[in-house]
Amino acid sequence: AQSVTQLGSHVSVSEGALVLLRCNYSSSVPPYLFWYVQYPNQGLQLLLKYTSAATLVKGINGFEAEFKKSETSFHLTKPSAHMSDAAEYFCAVSAPGGYNKLIFGAGTRLAVHP
Amino acid sequence: GAGVSQSPRYKVAKRGQDVALRCDPISGHVSLFWYQQALGQGPEFLTYFQNEAQLDKSGLPSDRFFAERPEGSVSTLKIQRTQQEDSAVYLCASKNTGSSDTQYFGPGTRLTVL
């Protein structure tokens, strides 16, 4: 069985500050891991994904995440927050092989203030 | 190219009514998923199609929920005798057949049952 825990349902940062959104996973097999972003009244957009290649993954809009097997973590970071980063962020896990249905965390709402 | 589209974007139903939600996947995508996203929660898997075959319906919450994809392209999620607890955003996603391929999400249909 697989599961995802996102620590912190709400995170607030100042514009220009570091963004850190936490994700821990549980999986009985080596996982694939994903971060998606959701803007109001829109679908989910993929930020980045880990599929067993490099453990440091770079995504769109300056985001990156590092897969740490020993910590079962896949935290999302961005060095400098922009106002446009305000959105809901979801971490998800799937099992390689098969059809890869996604198991999502509960989400973290990021607020960016001036 | 065109992304995943869903219609209607918003649906209001009276309790007990039947509803049908449509998903148009990205052309050529073999895999199609439906997810349910309750308010303030992450998406939860409902069902999966490979072409016209429904290979996993383990996430459908009750026998009032039915999904089909008769020609391996457009899919319809039908909910019979809607209940208030069915109120949610219903998301459709499609992907190619590669294990690490990205799921692309539509904008969702927001269903409100009164």
Q: pLDDT tens across A33-58, in order?
A: 999 999 988 889 999 999 887 899 99
Residue B24's nearest CA partner among B80, B89, B78, B71 is B71
pLDDT category of residue A102 using cuts at 50, 70 and 90: very high
Q: Does pLDDT of A26 surpass 80?
A: yes
A&B contacts, CB < 8 Å: 64
Report how far residue B71's alpha carbon sits from residue B53's, in angstroms, rounded to the nearest whole number: 9
Sign of the dihedral defined by the CA atoms of residues B53, B59, B62, B66, in that order = negative
Q: What residue has token string 């089909």? A: B68
Name the token pair of A67: 């897969």
Q: Which amino acid is at A4?
A: V
A34: β partners:
A49, A92
pLDDT for residue B18:
98
Q: How many CA atoms lie within 13 A of A49 on its CB side?
A: 19
DSSP code for A60: G
| Contact assignment for B100 to A51 by CB distance below 8 Å | yes
Share of residues in chain B with pLDDT > 90 (%): 91
Q: Read off the pLDDT of each residue in B52-67 and give the average, rounded to a whole number.
A: 96
Closest CB from B40, B50, B104 relative to A99:
B50
Q: Which of A100, A103, A108 to mutate to test the interface with B (most CBs of B within 10 A)?
A: A100
pLDDT for residue B1:
55
Burial class of residue A42, CB neighbours in 10 A (0-12, 13-18, 19+): middle
